[in-house]
Amino acid sequence: MRSLTLLPLLLALVALAHATHTSNWAVLVSTSRFWFNYRHLANVLSLYRTVKRLGIPDSQIILMLPDDMACNPRNSFPGSVFNDKSRELDVYDDNGETAGQEQMSEGVEGMGGIEVDYRGTEVTVESLIRLLTDRWPASHPISKRLMTDDRSNILIYMTGHGGNEFLKFQDSEEISSFDLADAFEQMWEKKRYHEMLFMIDTCQANTMYPAFYTPNIIATGSSAKDQSSYSHHADQDVGVAVVDRWTYFNLDFLETRLNSTSSDVRLGELFDYMTPERVHSDAGVRYDLFPGGEAAARDRRILDFFGNVQGVEVDRDESPEGAGNQDDQAARRRTWQRDLDGLRMLVEKTRAILENETARAPDPAATFKQHPSQLDTATTIDSIGTSAWLKKAVGVTSLLGLGTAWYMVQ
């Protein structure tokens, strides 16, 4: 059967299609209330601003804040939250003008306020587990649900007070590492993520992920067992610490190294940046759950979790300095052209085989009328199955060809 030779090709194309993700989501959780935990709110809002800057829209960010420090009567700067004593950036209401200054950077407008999905008493262990596993009643708002699938990469960041294998929620309850591990397992079974980056900033943070047993997870924390996670500095006018050390240096790396949504920086570089000299504790990373282990995890692009999945538009450089780049672009276009020609030949061959199989296949209705007692059921089913596979092959290859042609036109 010549048609059977197409099955490996079709399976390879399907596997290739499922090897990439199509969306990025972020779940950002602060678990502490009360004014003296100001830094935990600033931690989360800083990460929130970073992922928005790198392209993840609010519709794909779940923000959980148990307290509103911006409106606390102790706040000397009402309506604002800062993550640095310079107060150059208001992470609560980033409108581009802070502390009476002009715009924080030349020609750059602020990103506006924040969209909080769960606030106050809504931030509980139960609501987090329900969010991750999507165990909500039908009346629960879509905007407060994690609408992911098996093609979604998820960044989960948590901060607060914790200990050995637990993280406190608002000083009233705790979530254990085993609770998170089981929730992630349910997510995997329900095909709710493709790959996950789990980050946690708390005391003994690295004890929160050894219990994980679900594949495709990279986990990192701020401190080892029996170690504290320290704040970075305080603002004397605010009166409390404004950011934690581990989160501060994560932000420092992301803000200085990822200048655009096309930055090609790897997770390994970020992990290596978290040295004991910087964070004053032993930051940890777990790689073994990720396919390919440490090497593959470290080689993942940071934007595979912190940025948005989007099409790329290439601006042609007409300047003399861009002449060398034009040669590279011409070489790439020739390669694409060869691939496109190969796809066209594959489509033509597949279509010819389909037409041949269709011509050879007997008419089931006619066969039944002429010999109703001798209808070869197995042959008919085999013919129908072969035709279905061939049509799928034609569809997949045609889509690839059209996609390549579109790219060439661009």
| Residue 76, both tokens | 């000397």
Residues 6+ apart with CB under 8 A from 74: 35, 239
Residues 6+ apart with CB under 8 A from 37: 67, 160, 161
Alpha helices (H) along 18-133: 38-53, 125-133
| Residue 269, both tokens | 């570089």
> Catalytic one among 161, 232, 280, 371?
161
pTM of the model: 0.71
> Catalytic one among 21, 40, 194, 203?
203
Rg, Å, the chain Cα set = 27
Tens-of-pLDDT digits for all 410 residues of the chain?
A: 444 455 555 444 444 444 578 899 999 999 999 999 999 999 999 999 999 999 999 999 999 999 889 999 999 999 999 999 999 999 998 665 544 444 334 434 556 789 999 999 999 999 999 999 999 999 999 999 999 999 999 999 999 999 999 999 999 999 999 999 999 999 999 999 999 999 999 999 999 999 999 999 999 999 999 999 999 999 999 999 999 999 999 999 999 999 888 889 999 999 999 999 999 999 999 999 999 999 999 999 999 999 987 554 455 555 555 555 666 677 777 777 777 777 777 777 777 777 776 666 565 555 444 544 444 444 444 444 555 555 565 565 666 655 655 555 45
Q: What is the CATH number of domain 22-306?
A: 3.40.50.1460
CA-to-CA distance for 344 and 86, rounded, in angstroms? 60
Question: Is 71 annotated in the active site?
Answer: no
Q: Helix or strand or coil: residue 167?
A: strand
Question: Is 21 annotated in the active site?
Answer: no
CA-to-CA distance for 246 and 223, rounded, in angstroms? 9
Q: Helix or strand or coil: residue 154?
A: strand
CA dihedral sign of residues 66, 69, 72, 78: negative
So where are the chain's domains?
Answer: 2-15+324-409, 22-306
